[in-house]
Structures are given as structure tokens and as C-alpha cells.
Amino acid sequence: MKRWTVWLTLALCVLAVLTLAGCGGNDKKVSGKPPRAVSVLFAESSESWRRNGLALRDTLEKDGFVVDLEFSRTADKQAEALLSAVKKKPITIIVGAVDSYALKDALAEAAKHEISVIAYDRLIMNSPHVSYYVGFDAKEIGRTQARAIERALHLKNAFGSDNIEIFAGDPKDRNAVLFYEGAMEILKPYMENGRIVVPSGETSFDRTATADWSVQNAKQRADRLLQNVYADGRPLSAVLSPNDTLAGAVRESLDASYSGPWPFITGLDADPEGVRAVAADRQGMTIDKPPSLPAQECLRLVRDIAARQAAAAKVKEYNGAVEVPAFYCRPIVIQKDNLESVHWTQP
């Protein structure tokens, strides 16, 4: 044999051995089985959904799953995306619902094809076909935001009365209601005994809600409140905001039309801008829901689903149709005094 044919033969052998051993990192983990498809369909109502989607996709892909990730702005678009995902026959569909109440029919279609559905961060309501919920305890998040106001304004032990204003999220998002209810559990007694006052008089969920979690809607409402109620120099001590994007809208409005002492503003998501505002004393707190935590929970469930095993949950959440096995992750409260020490997971 000529020397070049010897080299060629050797090279081909090495290639064959590598191929048989399945050297592509991902293939190795599914031990030669064909990759399994997972659809991830998320809302796009804040920056945090994008971070969560990418983290979830990376986590699943590192384990050998093939992920189709899609973001939708409207409930109709998401229902359409869900129906086309069903046609691709993934082993599971993970949904961060645009509208917690609008996916009943699409989920029935998934169930017909025996595709399980995991509700991510927002529970999907009124459908018997939600296999699991993975996320955070939204009511407790609302309580945590209100407790931060309680501490900042010394509501428990100082006399006098403080003015606060309340912002809530999108009524289509079940979390928005839970954030509001949790916060009200803490704030309502102070509203009743006069320790806090809401000068706008807008306290119900309906009056304080922000359709579509839209920054523009929140800014318009904040502008209106500041012009109508605070133009005479009345001080505003705190603003209950359910997340960082709405807190940003409130800050913008305050910058433009308020000159009193800066209020304590709550937030959620540890968006880079929210964390910068906490560092600069322009936002009182935020709450980090590290995307890696629900991503790991989902991975565990997706592995079980792939192995056709059911996962047992200690907690269940009733969605109006069934008790959904729920897996809660633990959020991290971020304030200026622990900003340096918390394990902050985002860039």
C-alpha cells in the first residue's frame, strides 16, 4: 500500500470510530436515541420572558432535547403557535401564557395527541389539560413587595399617614391578580386604619390594572395621577408596582412631573434597569426569579415525561378545572443593602 492510502485508511477508521461513539456532546446524553422535541411558547410582555425562554432552551438543549422556542405578543398568535406546535408532535409543550384564560381549546387539541403541557410561571386556567405548573408563588411575591413598603415606611410603628399609589398588572395574567391580592393582604389593614392613604382613590384591581403589562399604559396612568392628585406638592411615599417594567414607567413619569421626596417603588424580575435603579436609590427593591431555577425544574419534568413517568408534587394549584401539580422555585429579594451580597444571576 502506498503511504497516502495508509493515511487515508487510518483517517477513515478514526472517523468511523468517532461517529459510532456518538461524539457530538448532545447525542451522547440521549444515548443514541433520536433527539426529542420540546416546544416552548412564551409571552413577550417583558424583557424577563426573553431571558427565561433562552435559559430554558439552553438547559433543555444541553441535555439533548431539541427545542422550538417561540414568543407571542397576543393570545390569538399564541393559540395559533400552540396548534402548529401540536402538529410537530413534541413530547411536551411548555407555555408561558399571554392570556391565562384563553388556551382551553388549544390545550384540548394537545391532549388529543397525548402531548403534555407544562404551564411556566403563569398558570393556565380552566383547562383540565395542564399537566404541571412550574414557577413561583405569585401571591407570596405580592406580599413580599407590600412588606418591603411596610418596612420602608415603618408602617408598624410610626404614627401619621403616608400617601401611596397602587399599580397592578395585566388582568389576562393570573399572576397579576395574585400579586395584587398578596400585596393587599398586607396593605389593606393600614388603608383601613388610615396609616396609609391612596389619594387617587384608585385601589381596586380593575382601577389599578395595566392592560397588556404595557409600559405606555402605566406611564399614562402615572402621568394622570401625578397631574390630578400631586400637582399641589402633596408628597408620595410609596408606589406598589408589580414588576420592574412598570416601575420604570412610574419613575419616568415622576421625573417629568413630580418634585417631592422620591417614593419607595417596588419591582420584580431583577431586570438590569431595575437593579441599576435599586443601586441608584430610585427603586426601593426588586425580586429576582432566577431563570435557571424553573429551567432546572422543567428539565426534570421533561426527562420524566420522556421516560413516561409521572412526577409527584407536594403542592397543587387549582386552575378552575383540575388540581395541577405545582413546583415552586424560591425568588431572591434585592434591596440596596444586599445588592452586593446576593447571588445576582443576570448580566
Given the rule CB under 6 A, which residues bind ligand BGC? 45-46, 48-49, 121-122, 169, 173, 175, 213, 243, 268-269
Choice between 169 and 263, CB closer to ligand BGC = 169
Report whether 14 contacts 236 (CB < 8 A). Answer: no
Nearest approach, Cβ of residue 176 and ligand BGC (Å) = 7
Nearest approach, Cβ of residue 147 and ligand BGC (Å) = 18
DSSP assignment of 242-261? SSHHHHHHHHHHHHHH--SS
Nearest approach, Cβ of residue 253 and ligand BGC (Å) = 19
For residue 58, give Cα distances in angstroms to 4, 40, 280.
Answer: 43, 12, 32
Residue identified by cell 433527539 is 35
Nearest approach, Cβ of residue 242 and ligand BGC (Å) = 7
What is the 8-class DSSP label of residue 291?
Answer: T
Amino acid type, 52 = N
What is the three-class DSSP state of 45?
coil
Choice between 253 and 286, CB closer to ligand BGC = 286
- Which three cell numbers, joined as nine digits, stand for 293? 431555577
Q: Determine which helix (DSSP H) or strand (DSSP E) holds 67, and give its type and residue range.
A: strand 65-72
Choice between 43 and 115, CB closer to ligand BGC = 43
Nearest approach, Cβ of residue 179 and ligand BGC (Å) = 8
Q: What is the largest CA-CA distance in the chain?
A: 98
Choice between 136 and 258, CB closer to ligand BGC = 136
Nearest approach, Cβ of residue 92 and ligand BGC (Å) = 20
Choice between 86 and 176, CB closer to ligand BGC = 176
Choice between 178 and 186, CB closer to ligand BGC = 178
Count of CB atoms within 10 A of residue 210's CB? Answer: 26
Q: Which of 154, 136, 345, 347 is nearest to 243 (CA)?
A: 136
